[in-house]
Amino acid sequence: MATIITSCNNDDDDFTNPEINSISLASNDSAVVSGYKQNMYIVRGKGFSGVQNIYFNDVDTYFNPTYVTDEVIFVTIDESTPYDYSPESIRIITNGGEAEYSFDVLQPSPTITSFTPNVGSAGVEVTIFGEVFNNLESVYFGDAEATIVSFSDTEIVVNAPDIVDPVQITVTTSAGSVVSEDFFGGLSYYIYDDALNSDWWSGGWGETNDFANTEHVNGGSYALKTQINGWSAFQVGNGGASIDASDYSVLQFDVYAESDGNILVSMNYDYSTNVQVMSLTAGQWYTLTFSLADFNVSDIQAFAIQEFSGSGNTLYIDNLGFL
């Protein structure tokens, strides 16, 4: 009994030859001549009752027998189906015969999951991870094309071009293009760009902070705004794993002051010895760069900006981090 396929109610001697007339995408029933793996298609024709096997490019493809009527089959192209194949076809075998129909299984668009490293100078070797990099055509860092060193279906190695500002990476294969979510370039370690690094805590004294300020922004959507009383300080600290200062050479940030005044930049709770004092003029962005060596720290614990005029100030800070 168990060998009788229940969806088949035909008399055993009344088989008809199957015939495929059209294929369409199941989600919108638009007629197609080609398709992608893991998408569901509607196959139309006749004589499908008693279907035994469905092949896309000779891959025996699972189908749900309840999605079969005499004239319609719903079937999903199996993940293992090759897309470079000859001849590209769908074949349906029923107990009454076999039908074949030309159908292209296409290469899926590429996707990027990550790349490493995410910062570096021209020529650095960058590995891009993702999927379906077959038939790779090009890799761009922003507008600059990178040199492809090697690639597989899931990994590309390139030499980075020379870039100034952080850029996204674009991978193009014969099946299309994809742009990375993350940026390459800029600072090697961000404390703040559009949000405080989640590893870091904030805790100064006599200040009020807004980490999602939009009044004055220097790149991205937000800058941080800190209103500091006289001699008080904005301070953030590392709450994560220890950061070795020797991995970086430079502390850098962009700052914009509402009033003229001095600030004292310090690290690791040392507010008096190894410190840097700067004068700021109101209404303009500065990019400040300090050699880490000047702070004389071995690991990076905290960073503070103290108002050093005594009159208080409102500062906007962006792109804070290390190079």
Partner 1 sequence: EDFLERPPEDSYSDDDFYYTDEQVESRITPLYFKPWWGMFNTPYWVMTEIASGDMFNYTHTSFVQFTVTSSNSNLEATWGSLYSVVAQSNEIINNLDSKVDAGVSQDVINSVKGEAYFLRAVAYFYLVRFWKEVPIIENAYDYIYAPQVHKNFEEDIYTFIESDLEMAISLLPEKTRGADFDNNARVSVGSAKAMLAKVYLTEEKYTEAKTLAGEVISSGEFKLLDNYADLFLTSNDNNQESIFSLQWCISTDYGSGNQSNIVNSAAGYGLSNIGDWNVFGPSQDILDIYPTGDEREIENMMIPGYTYENLYTSDGDQFTVPDDISAATSGSAIKKYVVGGQDEYDNWGMTSNNTYIMRYADLLLIYSEASMAGSGSTTDAIALSYFNQVRERAGLVDLPNLTNEILLQERRREFAFEGEYWFDLQRLLSESDLLTLLSNQNRGDMNYPQYYTASAEDLVYPIPANESASNPLLLEDAVAYDFTN
Partner 2 sequence: QTTVEGVVKDEANVTLPGVTVLEKGTNNGITTDFDGNYSITVKKGATLVFSFIGFTSQEVVVGEQTKIDVTLKPNVENLDEVVVIGYGSQKREQVNSAVAVVDLENTKEQPKVTVDQMLQGQAAGVSVTSDSGKPGAAVSVRIRGATSLTGSNEPLYVIDGIPISGDARNSATSGRPIAGSDFTSEGNTTVNPLAALNPNDIESVVVLKDASATAIYGSRGANGVVIVTTKSGKKGSGKITYDSYLTFQTQSKLLDVMNLSQYASQQNALAEIYGLEPRVEFTYPELLGAGTNWQEELFRTGVTQNHQISLSGRKEMFSYYLSGSYLKQEGTLIGSGLKRYTFKTNLDSRVKDWLRIGTNLSVAITNEDLVFGSSSNGIINYSILSAPDLAAYAGDGDFQAQEENNLGINFNNPLAMALAVDTELVRKNFFGNTYLEADIIKGLKYRFEFGGNTEFSEFDKYTPEAEYLSTEEAVYNVRRQSWYSWNLKNLITFDKKIDKHSFTLLLGHEASESAWQGVISQGNGFVSDQIHALDVADETTANDYKGSSSLVSFFGRLIYDFNNKYSLTATYRADGSSKFSKENRWGYFPGISGSWRISNESFMSDVKLVSDLKLRVGYGQTGNQNIGGYAYGSSLYSFTTDTGVGFLVSNLGNADLKWESMNQTNIGLDMAFLNNKLKLTVEWYNKVSKDFLYTIPLPEYLTGNNNWEGGLGNPTVNVGEMKNTGWDLSLNYGASTEDFSWNSTLIFSTYKNELTEMNEDLNLIQTVGDINYNDITVTNSVVGQAIGQFYGLKADGLLRSQEEVTNAGTYFGETPEIGDVKYEDVNGDGIVNEEDYTYIGNPHPKFTYGFTNNFSYKGFTLSVFLQGSYGNDILNLTRKYGTRNSNLYINQLSEAQDFWSEDNTDASLPRPQLEDHNNNRISSRFVEDGSYLRIQNVTLGYNFPSDLISKFKMTRLRIYGGVQNLYTFTDYKGYDPEVGSINQNALLMGIDNGRYPSPRTYTMGLNIEF
Which parts of this chain interact with Ca ion (CB under 5 A)? Answer: 193-194, 220, 318
Q: Is the peptide bond between 117 and the residue preceding it cis, with omega within 30 degrees of 0?
A: yes
List the one residue out of 109, 122, 113 whose CA is nearest residue 156.
113
**63 binds partner 2 per the rule CB under 8 A:** yes
Least distance from partner 1 to the Cβ atom of residue 277, Å: 23
Q: Which residues lie below 8 Å from residue 247, measured CB to CB, with a gap of 6+?
A: 188, 189, 322
Instruction: Report the residue number whose CB is nearest to Ca ion.
Output: 220
Least distance from Ca ion to the Cβ atom of residue 193, Å: 5
In Å, how far are 74, 141, 235 from 145, measured between CA atoms? 43, 6, 40
Q: Which residues lie below 8 Å from residue 239, measured CB to CB, with a gap of 6+?
A: 199, 200, 201
**5 binds partner 2 per the rule CB under 8 A:** yes
List the one residue out of 244, 248, 232 whose CA is nearest residue 323.
248
Q: Which of 30, 66, 150, 273 binds partner 2 (CB under 8 A)?
A: 66
Distance CA 269, CA 40 (A): 61
Least distance from partner 1 to the Cβ atom of residue 196, Å: 12
Q: Among the candidate windows 1-9, 81-89, 152-160, 271-279, which touches partner 2 by CB under 8 A?
A: 1-9
The one-letter amino acid code at 41 reads Y
Distance CA 52, CA 5 (A): 9
Contact map string, positions 295 to 314, toward partner 1, x by CB under 8 A: ----x-xx------------
**7 binds partner 2 per the rule CB under 8 A:** yes
Residues 77-136 binding partner 1 (CB under 8 A) are: 113
Judge whether 166 and 147 are in contact, CB under 8 Å.
no
The one-letter amino acid code at 250 reads V
Q: Which of 21, 52, 114, 154 binds partner 2 (CB under 8 A)?
A: 52
Residues 22-81 binding partner 1 (CB under 8 A) are: none
Q: Which of 15, 55, 67, 231 binds partner 2 (CB under 8 A)?
A: 67
Distance CA 144, CA 162 (A): 8
**2 binds partner 2 per the rule CB under 8 A:** yes
Nearer to partner 1, 125 or 299 (CB): 299
Distance CA 270, CA 9 (A): 86
Q: Which of 10, 15, 46, 74 binds partner 2 (CB under 8 A)?
A: 74
> What are the φ/ψ torsions at residue 245 (nearest 5 degrees)?
-65, -25
**59 binds partner 2 per the rule CB under 8 A:** no
Binding site for partner 1 (CB under 8 A): 113, 198-201, 203, 237-242, 269, 299, 301-302
Binding site for partner 2 (CB under 8 A): 2-7, 26-29, 40, 42, 51-53, 63-69, 72, 74
